[in-house]
Every structure is written in C-alpha cells, then in structure tokens.
Amino acid sequence: MAKVVVVTSGKGGVGKTTSTAALGAALAQNGANVVVVDFDVGLRNLDLVMGAERRVVFDLINVVQGDARLSQALIRDKRLENLSLLPASQTRDKDALTSEGVQKVINELREKFDWILCDSPAGIEKGAVMAMRHADIAIVVTNPEVSSVRDSDRIIGLLDSKTEKAENGGRIEKHLLLTRFDPIRAARGEMLKTDDVLEILSIPLLGIIPESEEVLRASNLGSPVTLLSPASAPARAYLDAARRLRGEHIEVVVPLERKGFIGRLFGRKVA
C-alpha cells in the first residue's frame, strides 16, 4: 500500500528539500516507485535540487485545477526511471491549493507509486498545512539548534491537530531527522545533543545526517546526494534513514567522512 510522507520543519533552511530529494532517491534506489512532490508554491526548489529545472512544463497547481493531467506534470528522473517529480508552481500562490484538490491528486498518486514524499514549505501557514494534510507519516527535519527545535515542536503540534488523520481521531506517525549535525562540535558540547533534542521533542529518531560539503556539491550539480556519491557520509546516513522508514531496525550511528591523506591535507580548504 502506498505511503504518503510529509517532510516538514517549520523553520526554513534546515534541509527539507535536500532531505526529500535524498530520501526519495534512496527509496527508489532500493527499487520502490517513488514520487517527490514540491508543495512550496511560488518558491519551488525541489526541481533544482533534483536537476530537473529545465524540464518543468506543468505543475501541481495545474493538476489541482484540472489544466493538466497528472501524467503530463510528472517528470521522470533521468537517472532512475522509478523516481518522479511533481513540481510546484512558480507563478501562483498557496491559495490555489485546496484540501479537496490536493486530496484528489494524492489519491491519484497513491495508485501509481509506493512512496509519495511531500516537500513542505517553511512556516505554519496554509502551504505547510496542505503538504501535511493527507500524510500517513511525517518526517520532522530539525537542526541541533534552539530555534529549529522550537519550530519543530510547533509543527508536531500542527501534525497532531491539522492533519486528516488527527481530525479523524487517529495519530500520524512522526519521525525526527536530525540534519546538519556536526559530531565534533557536539562532542565539544557546543551543539545540542541528540538525546536532548529527542527528549524535548519525544518522537522517534529516523536518522542523523552529518553536516557535509557533499550536500552542497550535490545541489550544485542537481542530484540527490544518495545518487551522486552514495558512499559519502550524508548519503550513507540518508540510505540508512530510508531503510528505517521502510521498517528495518538499524542502529543509528553518525557516519563519518572517510578521508585519505590528500583529503585530510586539503579537506579544510574552501576556495
């Protein structure tokens, strides 16, 4: 049965889009049929991170409003044929999304795909609510940093009140994805510890993604990091997180960058 997952956070810039692309690709790399859906109407970016920005013709709003068929708006990934993208509109605003319209599109996607990953816009407004509304599972992307944790707490509150599951008396499955994690700074006590974040938010941990230059390189090149460099530390963390999402039990460890002599010599060089 198809699973609808919302990738959300409240705060902007924590890594929702990067994580949507990386997890979507990771699930597809394992053979599942996956679609990643951009809900950030007016400020789309998932197309850019996926490297499909030149191929966008129709978008989510066109499908919701009946101006285009779903099959016309879906963009198939050039690297993985079982990975597709449904882009957001760049010209419209969030008011063009209606709960009924989104529901219809999600239902249609459920018939075609095993996993539907919805990339939520930042904030707690209509766009974010539309992205989470019909989800079965929520991934709350959080940085080990006070404002991000506070906003995540707010989003968890919304997930427990504004989603269809919550309104029908059910509970939406929630997971925490800790991103931009710096193990060295965490060990030095300069960063909120994983245990602290988990205790405050009290939702299960899906994975810890280490801060890495590989993530920036992946978005520069327009490729999910799990496809571009599957052996890198963030990619391994995302691949593990995807396995946990599928229900596998794997211990959470923070993968470290494997650096050779040259890498260590030049590793800190930035320009």
Binding stretches for another protein (CB under 8 A): 48, 51, 53-58, 62, 67-69, 71-72, 90-91, 213, 216-217, 219-222, 257-260, 262-263, 266-267
Smallest gap from residue 91 Cβ to another protein (A): 4
Smallest gap from residue 53 Cβ to another protein (A): 5
Smallest gap from residue 72 Cβ to another protein (A): 6
Compute CA distances 81 → 69, 159, 185, whole Å.
Answer: 20, 32, 39
Smallest gap from residue 81 Cβ to another protein (A): 15
Of 112 and 154, the one with the shorter C-beta distance to another protein is: 112
Mode of pairing for the β-strands spanning 205-210 and 3-8: unpaired
* Cα distance from N-terminal residue to C-terminal residue, the chain: 48
Q: Which two tokens stand for residue 4?
A: 């609808």
CB atoms within 10 A of CB 227: 21
Of 56 and 208, the one with the shorter C-beta distance to another protein is: 56
Q: Are 141 and 107 in contact (CB under 8 A)?
A: no
Q: Are 179 and 238 in contact (CB under 8 A)?
A: no
Smallest gap from residue 109 Cβ to another protein (A): 16
Smallest gap from residue 28 Cβ to another protein (A): 21
The sheet with strand 3-8 has its strands ordered as 75-76, 83-86, 34-38, 115-119, 3-8, 137-142, 173-181, 205-210
Smallest gap from residue 146 Cβ to another protein (A): 30
Q: Which two tokens stand for residue 62?
A: 């066109």
Smallest gap from residue 193 Cβ to another protein (A): 28
Length of the chain, please?
271
Of 1 and 271, the one with the shorter C-beta distance to another protein is: 271
Of 17 and 219, the one with the shorter C-beta distance to another protein is: 219
Mode of pairing for the β-strands spanning 75-76 and 3-8: unpaired
Q: Compute the Cα dihedral for 142, 34, 215, 260 and give only its sign.
A: positive
**d(C-alpha 146, C-alpha 175), whole Å:** 18
Of 189 and 260, the one with the shorter C-beta distance to another protein is: 260
Of 76 and 150, the one with the shorter C-beta distance to another protein is: 76
Task: Tell me the chain's radius of gyration from C-alpha atoms.
Answer: 18
- Residues in a beta bridge with 141: 177
Of 202 and 220, the one with the shorter C-beta distance to another protein is: 220
**d(C-alpha 159, C-alpha 74), whole Å:** 27
Of 91 and 202, the one with the shorter C-beta distance to another protein is: 91
